[in-house]
A and B are shown apart, each in its own frame.
Chain A
Amino acid sequence: MALKMVKGSIDRMFDKNLQDLVRGIRNHKEDEAKYISQCIDEIKQELKQDNIAVKANAVCKLTYLQMLGYDISWAAFNIIEVMSASKFTFKRIGYLAASQCFHEGTDVIMLTTNQIRKDLSSPNQYDTGVALTGLSCFVTPDLARDLANDIMTLMSHTKPYIRKKAVLIMYKVFLKYPESLRPAFPRLKEKLEDPDPGVQSAAVNVICELARRNPKNYLSLAPLFFKLMTSSTNNWVLIKIIKLFGALTPLEPRLGKKLIEPLTNLIHSTSAMSLLYECVNTVILCVQKLRILIEDSDQNLKYLGLLAMSKILKTHPKSVQSHKDLILQCLDDKDESIRLRALDLLYGMVSKKNLMEIVKKLMIHVDKAEGTTYRDELLTKIIDICSQSNYQYITNFEWYISILVELTRLEGTRHGHLIAAQMLDVAIRVKAIRKFAVSQMAMLLDNAHLIASNTQRNGICEVLYAAAWICGEFSEHLEEANQTLEAMLRPKVTTLPGHIQAVYVQNMVKLYASILQQKEQAGEKEAAQEITQLMIEKLPQFVQSADLEVQERASCILQLIKYIQKLQVKEVPVAEEVIALFAGELNPVAPKAQKKVPVPEGLDLDAWINEPPSDSESEDEKPKTIFHDEEQRHSRHRQPEIDEEELARRREARKQEQANNPFYIKSSPSPQKRYQDTPGVEHIPVVQIDLSVPLKVPGMPMSDQYVKLEEERRHKQKLEKDKKKKKQKKEKRGKHHRHNSLHTESEEDIAPAHHVDIITEEMPENALPSDEDDKDPNDPYKALDIDLDKPLADSEKLPVQRHRNVETLKSPDSEALLVEKKSKKPKKKEKKHKEKEREKGKKKEKEKKVVEEEEEKKVICQDLHCLKSAVMDHIYCCVLFLVFFGAVLCLTLLNLSCDFFHLQTYDIQGNLQNDSQVTVSVIFENKSTSFLKSMELNVLDSLNTKMLRPEGSSVHDGIPVPFQLPPGISNEAQFVFTLQSIVMAQKLKGTLSFIVKNDEGSTHEKLDFKLHFSCASYLITTPCYSDAFAKLLESGDLHMNSIKVDGISISFQHLLAKICFHHHFSVVERVDSCASMYSRSIQGHHVCLLVKKGENSVSVDGKCSDSTLLSNLLDEMKETLSKC
């Protein structure tokens, strides 16, 4: 035994340490892999020993090997062992290894929870530090949830070293466990004013990162950050703060003005370029300064200058456009990063006027570019630039098509499919260009051998896909269809990729059909038969294809054509029937169309069509699945068949509706059916031009020609306009003399070459209006979009690890303690509320005596008492709110929304000074990307309820909303209503009209809504003492009524909270499962309630000075309670 131990320690002396390992690897350059596998074997042996020092050494070596790319996940458990070593030396290594190789998929990671918790509370600050650092690398949602509370405690640690680490790691915790944000935020905010600069900067860091993602929740912190910005001298912190303000300013325009001064100070005083860059980035008014950056010889500054420029471009395109020369110059830079930035800028700079010029420049660059990646980038940029915002800047589509055709000459590009997609898109959507496009495509097909000749240029042959489809689909525009057909039937075609061949085959038939029709109409039976013969001769080459799709299509079509031949021999005219195969026009469909189809009523998409077989069955029946599937399919098929008639009827109805709907683009009768009776083009033998070096696709038009033509055309246009102007001038001689000399060609002056009708994409009828499409549900930061100003609810506490036995053996003492703790918490809140109350109080000009406030607090305490329960939730928190404000806030959640607007919540609030007035607060939120203005709210007055309008206006006049709404902004407006009687609930219909302004112009829109004044909204939560309450009941001049609701399962506290919240009552007294409640209407009616809870039911006895009011109130209450 002793010998073994000695032997063990001697062995250890010969263990390799990290240095030995590194040296060894360097000495075994030839057989590194072998050496390392040998080392790993040694390490495995070392890990088996009990000595922690040996293990730590082994883990340290493993960490190094991990960096070299070796898998060490098998040692995860050993790493945890080393992490839990008591000595810092080993612990450090363990955590390092963990931080390098643990991730969410590591299964042993949950074993670390307790170890980390222990280290976090270690008396040694470096133990804690190392644990925090490690955790920051591999925190998972589970770890975040379990440790959030511990870390939050560390944020107030005595040592700044720990505090700053704890603050920083909180950001990671928030990301993984968003629920922790609200409870931890107050403390995080405190840290902004920490005496230690390190902690402070960490807090700034975290809050800035949070705020950048969801700025609107952090607006309230602006003053604090403003103070920090003017006082801090730390550049790192300043940059973060400026970034934060950059995110906040769009939300609060007034901030911008305030910021100008400190920012300009910084710009002038700082010597740090990074800070200057950040300032400039935020101010984005300093285009001239940027020019200096771009012209600088330092490549880094040049790059950043261009980057900042692209940000300015979004808001001030004009000021950037004047630097076009400089940016084009940057395209020649030898650094690819810079060239790419310049390209980005060009994208935003084009206009109708300069598009052709810019693209021409780019085309030259394409020719010059070395390296396919950059050339591909250029290609995509050209296409992006031209196709942006629905081809907005293209005035001449012939030019664009020829550009696309020229791009097909690019060698070895990966983006053939992009060009193809553009060709298809343009040909389909721009009707006027089809004839030209078809002729170009025919030429491409004719020269297909050039494009497809080189197998390496595979990417580009995608354009043949587009070419074949366009020629087939719009074959009526083809002049020499025969020639094209023959080009498509060449043997070379069979070398193309399968999916292209398939399209070839399909479109051949379209071509064939149209040729057939031509010939038949011209009475050339011979020629018609000849073309059939040609097809029958050539098609077999496709039938033999290895590609299934091609093979299937080809053999199908071959049979069809053989049949046609038979008919032709019998001299039966066939063309009409063949062409009918392809009748009808394809319209472009919007990409989102499918999503927007509304779900018809009564269709539950989540319901099973067939109940899934139970688990136990499926195990046994696996081999049978084929049959099983088949059965299912059958039953699915049967379903629609039953409704075939119904479907047909609906289809008819829809057609009718479309015809009557002016928003539908009516398709002209299919052009395919009108064929010109041109004499058939005789069979022309095609000479194969075989150029070994494809310099230029022969016969292709050059885009340059179009540039020249376009210039001439514009010049002519301009001249004509000038002429007209001169004429006008002659008429009004002398009046506008100066203006003419200053005349420059402006954007609007350029009319497109020919009438271009971009067919808009089709949307389904009743498309659902939704703007949610662009939001990414997987965005990790979205979860952190949390309102931070709302007071904390008790349920939002961070989970605290407790020992189980404590929970089960709860002594009365500990319970009392708990109560005390809970009642302490709200007191903290009280302070906050008081502040808010003060603000609100000012607004409402409500004067309250201190005594009254004291009384109010008492009531709250009572409420608190009766509400303290394990299920304290959101509602409780709201009730507190209500009592504190001392005002009635009836929150009727209402989600009126249309494309542009979101009338989010409105509050109806009784006016205390005037017993017949109610104030309604409406929050307007602009959800669109357009600017909303001239909003007017109008309500159809009823006899009882009227909107308070300014004097002199009629009942039909709306009340203007006193603000305008930029995109994404919300604001609140209040409207006052007068009422005569409040004993009944009221519903008012109203309309909101507004003007939507965006790039395309402005439109007038309307939104209808209903305003619901419930009886409860006329009540004001008023506290009442039990003796006053008793007197009131004794007085005897109250009417009585009662209700009973069955099937209530929620707790009594909860129930009371609901009544308090929804119906504005306050609790007077509560004994066991019985409570008295009180409220007052704005017209001074007293309402008293006695609520009793039975086994499963609740009875409410009410007394009120007005019987109608009481019965209506009780009806409303019944509805609320029956939902419980």
Chain B
Amino acid sequence: MRFMLLFSRQGKLRLQKWYLATADRDKKKMVRELMQVVLARKPKMCSFLEWRDLKVVYKRYASLYFCCAIEGQDNELITLELIHRYVELLDKYFGSVCELDIIFNFEKAYFILDEFVMGGEIQDTSKKSVLKAIEQADLLQEVRHPQTHLWSPQNTPMETP
């Protein structure tokens, strides 16, 4: 996998992870371009598209698009599965995760992703062991801020559309 992006329906970037070091300018350009392409697609269309020399696999959960860029030979369906697995992990960790959780705790979302995928390859296929690692690491981290639970009525829990 080359990179993973999370962005909202309004085209706001929520999370980006690059597995190939890229200059900031290129990153910005690619993100902008890709968001445009993906957002223009209609709900019933398939989840794959070819973009530049990469394949893009995306899926929409509630208002968030999860979008992965993979190389030519990679398996599209397993990438879709990977996205789903990540959403499941987020859901388990935050408890019915919503976009706001990711906005306000974006570093946590990164930590989970880092435990799940490393260097563009899946690190652990077991949900349990990923969550365990995160919990352990969290225990090490003393609580800095009281965890305020954020909840607003317009943000429904994420579900598969």
Query: Chain A residues in contact with chain B, CB under 8 A?
Result: 17-19, 22, 53, 60, 63-64, 67-69, 71, 73, 88-89, 92-93, 96, 99-105, 124, 126, 129-130, 132-133, 136-140, 161, 164-165, 168-169, 171-172, 197-198, 201-202, 205-206, 209, 212, 234-237, 239, 243, 273-274, 277-278, 298-300, 302-304, 334-338, 340
Q: Which of A71, A171, A234, A243 contacts B75 (CB 8 A)?
A: A243
20 pairs, CB–CB < 8 Å, chain A vs chain B: A17-B145, A18-B104, A18-B106, A88-B141, A89-B140, A92-B137, A100-B110, A126-B136, A132-B118, A133-B114, A137-B17, A137-B21, A168-B121, A169-B118, A202-B123, A243-B75, A300-B76, A304-B77, A335-B45, A336-B49
CA distance A18 to B102 in the complex (A): 12
Cβ A300 vs Cβ B47 within 8 A = yes
CA distance A124 to B49 in the complex (A): 42
CA distance A182 to B106 in the complex (A): 39
Within B17-63, the residues touching A (CB, 8 Å) are 17-19, 21-24, 28, 42, 44-50
Cβ A277 vs Cβ B77 within 8 A = yes
Cβ A136 vs Cβ B125 within 8 A = no
Cβ A171 vs Cβ B119 within 8 A = yes
Instruction: Output the nearest chain B residue to A208 by Cβ-Cβ distance.
Output: B121
CB contacts (< 8 Å) of B50 on chain A: these are 337, 340
Q: Given the interface contacts A88-B137, A335-B45, does A277 sit within 8 Å of B107 by beta carbon?
A: no
Interface of A is mostly: helix
CB contacts (< 8 Å) of B144 on chain A: these are 17, 53, 89
Cβ B77 vs Cβ A133 within 8 A = no
Within B76-122, the residues touching A (CB, 8 Å) are 76-78, 80-81, 103-104, 106-107, 110-111, 114-115, 118-119, 121-122
CB contacts (< 8 Å) of A133 on chain B: these are 114-115, 118
Cβ B118 vs Cβ A161 within 8 A = no
Instruction: Output the nearest chain B residue to A277 by Cβ-Cβ distance.
Output: B77
Q: Which of B19, B76, B78, B121 contacts A209 (CB 8 A)?
A: B121
Q: What is the minimal beta-carbon distance from A896 to any residue of chain B, in angstroms? A: 35
In the assembled complex, B148 has its CB within 8 A of some CB on chain A? yes
CA distance A340 to B50 in the complex (A): 9
Interface of B is mostly: mixed
CB contacts (< 8 Å) of A197 on chain B: these are 125-126
CA distance A919 to B107 in the complex (A): 67
In order of increasing CB-CB distance, the 5 nearest A-B pairs are: A274-B77, A299-B46, A103-B21, A136-B119, A89-B141
CB contacts (< 8 Å) of B154 on chain A: these are none
CB contacts (< 8 Å) of A136 on chain B: these are 19, 118-119
In the assembled complex, B156 has its CB within 8 A of some CB on chain A? no
Cβ A92 vs Cβ B133 within 8 A = no
CA distance A1105 to B106 in the complex (A): 84
CB contacts (< 8 Å) of A277 on chain B: these are 75-77
Instruction: Output the nearest chain A residue to B18 by Cβ-Cβ distance.
Output: A137
Instruction: Output the nearest chain B residue to A338 by Cβ-Cβ distance.
Output: B46
CB contacts (< 8 Å) of B155 on chain A: these are none
- Chain B 126-148, CB-CB to A under 8 Å as 1, else 0, gives 10010001001100111011001
Q: Given the interface contacts A236-B78, A337-B49, does A171 sit within 8 Å of B121 by beta carbon?
A: yes
CB contacts (< 8 Å) of B137 on chain A: these are 88, 92, 126, 129-130
Cβ A337 vs Cβ B48 within 8 A = yes
Instruction: Output the nearest chain B residue to A69 by Cβ-Cβ distance.
Output: B28
CA distance A138 to B20 in the complex (A): 8
In the assembled complex, B15 has its CB within 8 A of some CB on chain A? yes
Instruction: Output the nearest chain B residue to A164 by Cβ-Cβ distance.
Output: B123
Q: What is the minimal beta-carbon distance from B151 to any residue of chain A, in angstroms? A: 14
In the assembled complex, B73 has its CB within 8 A of some CB on chain A? yes
In the assembled complex, B159 has its CB within 8 A of some CB on chain A? no
CA distance A103 to B54 in the complex (A): 21
CA distance A105 to B104 in the complex (A): 30
Q: What is the minimal beta-carbon distance from A96 to any residue of chain B, in angstroms? A: 6
CB contacts (< 8 Å) of A334 on chain B: these are 42, 45
Cβ B121 vs Cβ A274 within 8 A = no
Cβ B104 vs Cβ A19 within 8 A = yes
Q: What is the minimal beta-carbon distance from B105 to any residue of chain A, in angstroms? A: 8
CB contacts (< 8 Å) of A103 on chain B: these are 21-24
Cβ B75 vs Cβ A198 within 8 A = no
Cβ A126 vs Cβ B118 within 8 A = no
CA distance A338 to B41 in the complex (A): 12
Cβ A274 vs Cβ B78 within 8 A = yes
Q: Which of B22, B106, B114, B142 contacts A64 (CB 8 A)?
A: B106
CA distance A98 to B142 in the complex (A): 22
In the assembled complex, B16 has its CB within 8 A of some CB on chain A? yes
Cβ A165 vs Cβ B118 within 8 A = yes
CA distance A73 to B19 in the complex (A): 18
CA distance A237 to B114 in the complex (A): 19
**Interface residues in B, total, Cβ within 8 A:** 53
In the assembled complex, B158 has its CB within 8 A of some CB on chain A? no
Q: Which of A88, A89, A198 contacts B123 (CB 8 A)?
A: A198
CB contacts (< 8 Å) of A165 on chain B: these are 118, 123
Cβ B80 vs Cβ A300 within 8 A = yes
CB contacts (< 8 Å) of A100 on chain B: these are 16, 18, 110
Q: Which of A64, A93, A102, A300 has the most CB of B within 10 A?
A: A300
CB contacts (< 8 Å) of A132 on chain B: these are 118
CA distance A69 to B13 in the complex (A): 9
CB contacts (< 8 Å) of A88 on chain B: these are 137, 140-141
Q: Given the interface contacts A60-B107, A71-B24, A136-B118, does A274 sit within 8 Å of B48 by beta carbon?
A: no
Instruction: Output the nearest chain A residue to B19 by Cβ-Cβ distance.
Output: A137
CA distance A244 to B22 in the complex (A): 28
Q: Which of B24, B75, B106 contacts A239 (CB 8 A)?
A: B75
Q: Given the interface contacts A22-B104, A165-B118, A337-B46, does A201 sit within 8 Å of B78 by beta carbon?
A: no
Q: Which of A69, A202, A239 contacts B121 (CB 8 A)?
A: A202
CA distance A164 to B118 in the complex (A): 10
Q: What is the minimal beta-carbon distance from B6 to any residue of chain A, in angstroms? A: 10
Q: Which of A53, A99, A239, A300 contacts B48 (CB 8 A)?
A: A300
Cβ B121 vs Cβ A19 within 8 A = no
Q: What is the minimal beta-carbon distance from B92 to any residue of chain A, in angstroms? A: 18
Q: Given the interface contacts A164-B124, A335-B45, A337-B45, does A92 sit within 8 Å of B141 by beta carbon?
A: yes
CA distance A206 to B110 in the complex (A): 23
Cβ B107 vs Cβ A63 within 8 A = yes
Q: Which of B21, B50, B78 has the most CB of A within 10 A?
A: B21
Cβ A96 vs Cβ B22 within 8 A = no
Cβ B76 vs Cβ A304 within 8 A = yes
Q: Which of A22, A126, A172, A337 contacts B119 (CB 8 A)?
A: A172
CA distance A663 to B142 in the complex (A): 81
Q: What is the minimal beta-carbon distance from A13 to any residue of chain B, in angstroms? A: 12
Q: Which of B75, B80, B118, B122 contacts A278 (CB 8 A)?
A: B75
Instruction: Output the nearest chain B residue to A125 by Cβ-Cβ distance.
Output: B136
Cβ B78 vs Cβ A22 within 8 A = no
Q: What is the minimal beta-carbon distance from A934 to any residue of chain B, in angstroms? A: 35
Cβ B140 vs Cβ A126 within 8 A = yes
Q: Which of B19, B133, B142 contacts A89 (CB 8 A)?
A: B142
Q: What is the minimal beta-carbon distance from A250 to any residue of chain B, in angstroms? A: 14
Cβ A73 vs Cβ B24 within 8 A = yes
CA distance A206 to B122 in the complex (A): 10
Q: Given the interface contacts A103-B22, A103-B23, A137-B19, does A18 sit within 8 Å of B107 by beta carbon?
A: yes
Instruction: Output the nearest chain A residue to B106 by Cβ-Cβ distance.
Output: A64
CB contacts (< 8 Å) of A64 on chain B: these are 106
CA distance A273 to B84 in the complex (A): 14
Q: What is the minimal beta-carbon distance from A120 to any residue of chain B, in angstroms? A: 15
CA distance A235 to B80 in the complex (A): 14
CA distance A71 to B25 in the complex (A): 10
CA distance A337 to B107 in the complex (A): 34
Q: What is the minimal beta-carbon distance from A732 to any residue of chain B, in angstroms? A: 55
CB contacts (< 8 Å) of B141 on chain A: these are 88-89, 92
CA distance A71 to B24 in the complex (A): 8
Instruction: Output the nearest chain A residue to B14 by Cβ-Cβ distance.
Output: A67
CA distance A92 to B137 in the complex (A): 9
Q: Contacts A67-B13, A92-B107, A201-B124 known; list 5 others, CB within 8 Å.
A: A67-B16, A168-B119, A234-B125, A274-B77, A304-B77
Cβ A198 vs Cβ B126 within 8 A = yes
